[in-house]
Amino acid sequence: MDNKTILDELLDLLEKNGVKIRKDSLGGGSSGLCKIKNDFIFFMDTDSSSYEIAAICAKAVGQVVDIEAIYLKPEVRSFIEQNMKN
């Protein structure tokens, strides 16, 4: 599974768990999750590579989703677990 496919899976997972996705050109390396009042927003820096965004997105998934309670494709689960350790 390539980085773009993993990123798409992660973004879909965030959206299904109530996180709003905002895609903006932020200059590279500026993606991240933030909470405003009771809403989570994941800012996706369109100037970053798919791998960079996916790595940050994986950490965001770890914060808002109980990955032990749901089915994830093995490649996606492995990617999340690897990036939560970093």
Q: Would residue 86 count as lying in a domain?
A: no
pTM, whole model, 2 decimals? 0.91
Q: Would residue 11 count as lying in a domain?
A: yes
Let me know: does 14 contact 60? Beta carbons within 8 Å.
yes
Query: Would you say the C-alpha torsion 60, 63, 65, 67 has a positive or negative sign?
Result: positive
Low-confidence stretches of the chain (pLDDT < 50) are none
Determine the pLDDT at residue 28. Answer: 83
Question: Can you give the residue range of the structural domain that contains 12?
Answer: 3-80
Q: Would residue 17 count as lying in a domain?
A: yes
CA 60 to chain centre: 5
User: How many domains does the chain fold into?
Assistant: 1
Q: Would residue 21 count as lying in a domain?
A: yes
Q: What is the DSSP string of 11-55?
A: HHHHHHTT-EEEEE--SSS--EEEEETTEEEEEEETTS-HHHHHH
Determine the pLDDT at residue 46. Answer: 93
Determine the pLDDT at residue 29. Answer: 77
Let me know: does 12 contact 6? Beta carbons within 8 Å.
no
